[in-house]
Amino acid sequence: MKKEEVQLHYCLSCGRMYYSDGELVRSDILCFLIYKSAHGDVKITIVRGLCGICQNWKEVIMKRRKQNQLQKHHIIPRSKNGGYEKNILLIPEDYHTAYHKLFANLTPEEILFYLKEVLFTTGRFQTPLDWLNKRPQKWGLF
């Protein structure tokens, strides 16, 4: 009996697994393929590179870097003790503006909590600043 051969691609940047046509590999399918491979029914070949999303992002960054259109973004805002060097990302100016219009100066953890509590629980939109001001002070973020 001949083994079935499956070629999967692994993105070195984001860790996504995808097929040659760019379609993402669902986690249940990946588990099934690994199971079949462990039993000798399937041979999996993994090709490493960048997925389309990361490749496009890399091109955007390189183009904007040449045009000097990148801004420093502090992952943890400086106002929340995020003033150290490893806390900085270079991102396109328009993305940076959009990020702060959407999330003000929330930390990544606060953004996750905000999305979970406001959008996924209540289903009603509130700006992050309104949400922060209206929530009881006894609530911690986590």
> pLDDT tens, 50-77?
888 888 877 887 777 777 778 888 888 8
State the Cα–Cα distance between residues 108 and 74, nearest whole angstrom. Answer: 11
In 3D space, the residue among 130, 137, 76 whose CA is nearest the CA of residue 102 turns out to be 130
> pLDDT tens, 2-21?
778 999 998 887 778 889 88
In 3D space, the residue among 128, 134, 84 whose CA is nearest the CA of residue 107 turns out to be 128
State the Cα–Cα distance between residues 95 and 97, nearest whole angstrom. Answer: 5
| Cα dihedral 105→110→114→117 (10° resolution) | -160
Sorted by where each begins, the domain ranges of the chain are 4-53, 69-130
> pLDDT tens, 79-122?
888 778 788 888 888 888 888 888 888 888 888 777 777 666 66
How sure is the predictor about 1, in pLDDT bands with cuts at 50, 70 and 90?
Answer: low
